[in-house]
């Protein structure tokens, strides 16, 4: 089982942060996605761990690639209202291998490295085979690369030609596929006057966020402008009425 540092103990900074006081009513998959969305602004996340067991309820671990990312996340997100409960964050006393043991997914480093190298070589061979198949197709304008090689760049921002006048509704663009109403509510509800989030199912990548008045919407817009959700920087403007 993973050990957790006591708040007063002298635990050196490391890539893994331990979070508790989480809302236990949130489903595990939704919790992991939301944590990833909130913490990805600080750097590359290796994994987010949370378990169904009673002993681990209300807790999670976020493993970053860099120690500096974990440090910034701990400092800036301490007490962040996450699903109506302030997060309590500290460095994990032990690193992610121990957490993996608790989850039953631990693989020794050498064995894991060999496994990853085999997987990487297999993927490279598959991509090479796909490219070779594509080269045999006589496309009129050249050969299209396999879909697996085309990165998803997020929904293309729809920039209004004429900026809308300040009002109580915000128009949010460039959201990632993983974005949900719950995730956005989590971010925007920390600012006074929040009313609701509306997403457009037919148009992924955009949402509308309503506040009680334009002063409150302006505060939220300024605070969350370019906030990175997963890897997409949000573009926020006033909605056209």
Sequence length of the chain is: 241
Residue 176, SS3 per DSSP: coil
**pLDDT (0 to 100) of residue 146:** 60
**pLDDT (0 to 100) of residue 1:** 42
- In tens digits, the chain (241 residues) has pLDDT values of 444 444 445 788 999 999 999 999 889 988 998 998 889 889 999 999 998 888 888 999 999 999 999 999 999 999 998 888 999 999 998 766 644 565 565 566 565 566 667 777 777 777 766 655 544 444 444 555 565 555 555 666 665 567 889 999 999 999 988 888 888 988 898 899 999 999 988 888 999 999 999 999 999 999 999 988 877 889 999 998 7
Q: Could you tell me the maximum CA-CA distance found in the chain, to the nearest angstrom? A: 67
Task: Enumerate residues 6+ apart whose C-beta is below 8 A from 116.
Answer: none
**pLDDT (0 to 100) of residue 216:** 95
**pLDDT (0 to 100) of residue 175:** 92
Task: Enumerate residues 6+ apart whose C-beta is below 8 A from 4.
Answer: 18, 20, 90, 92, 93
Sign for the pseudo-dihedral over CA of 233, 237, 240, 241: positive
Residue 46: φ, ψ to 5°: -80, -45
The domains found in the chain, sorted by start residue, are 16-103 (3.30.70.330), 169-238 (3.30.70.330)
Q: pTM for this one?
A: 0.54
Structure token digits, residue 148: 């697996």
Report d(CA 28, CA 109) in Å as an integer: 27
């Amino acid at each position: 089982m993973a050990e957790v540092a006591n708040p007063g103990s002298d635990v050196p900074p490391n890539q893994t942060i331990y979070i508790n006081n989480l809302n236990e009513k949130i489903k595990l998959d939704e919790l992991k996605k939301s944590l990833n969305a909130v913490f990805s602004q600080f750097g590359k996340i290796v994994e987010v761990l949370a378990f169904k067991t009673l002993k681990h309820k209300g807790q999670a671990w976020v493993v970053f690639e860099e120690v500096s990312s974990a440090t910034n996340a701990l400092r800036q997100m301490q007490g962040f209202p996450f699903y109506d409960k302030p997060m309590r964050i500290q460095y994990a006393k032990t690193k992610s291998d121990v957490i993996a043991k608790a989850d039953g997914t631990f693989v020794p480093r050498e064995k894991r490295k060999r496994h990853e190298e085999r997987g990487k070589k297999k993927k490279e061979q598959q991509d090479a085979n796909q490219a070779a198949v594509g080269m045999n197709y006589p496309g009129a304008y050249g050969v299209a690369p396999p879909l697996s090689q085309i990165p998803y760049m997020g929904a293309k921002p729809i920039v209004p030609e004429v900026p809308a006048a300040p009002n109580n509704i915000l128009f949010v663009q460039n959201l990632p596929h993983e974005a949900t109403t719950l995730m956005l509510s989590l971010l925007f509800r920390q600012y006074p006057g929040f009313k609701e989030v509306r997403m457009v199912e037919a148009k992924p990548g955009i949402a509308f966020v309503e506040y009680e008045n334009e002063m409150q919407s302006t505060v939220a817009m300024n605070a969350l402008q370019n906030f990175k959700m997963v890897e997409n920087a949000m573009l926020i403007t006033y909605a056209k009425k």
